[in-house]
Amino acid sequence: MQCVPKTDFIVIRDDLMTDTILCFDLGTKTSWVIYGVDGHIMSGTVNFQPRRFEDGEMRYLRFKQ
């Protein structure tokens, strides 16, 4: 499987040459969307309000977990 970065999204290619698009909007409320090759769309949000003594980059580190 290979990830091909684009400007606002990532296209994931596997051995079957099918495309899946994974999109992120990394902000205080982080949104994600997966658009599968079958046309099925999955999405959600996660709230990353800064906690006490955290700077803005901590939301990205917490998102990786």
Q: What is the pLDDT of residues 12-61, one digit of tens each?
A: 555 555 566 666 666 667 777 777 778 888 888 877 777 777 766 666 66
Q: Residue 9: its pLDDT value, please?
A: 52
Q: 2 falls in which pLDDT band (50, 70, 90)? A: very low
- Residue 47 makes CB contacts below 8 A (sequence gap 6+) with 28, 29, 30
Tell whether pTM > 0.95: no
Q: For residue 57, give its domain range.
A: 2-64
- Residue 62 clears pLDDT 60, i.e. is over it: yes
Number of independent structural domains in the chain = 1
Question: Rounded to whole angstroms, what are the CA distances from 16 to 20, 40, 64?
Answer: 11, 17, 27
| Residue 13: Cβ within 10 Å count | 13
Cα–Cα distance for residue pair 6/49, rounded to 1 Å = 27
Q: How many CA atoms lie within 13 A of 15 on its CB side?
A: 0
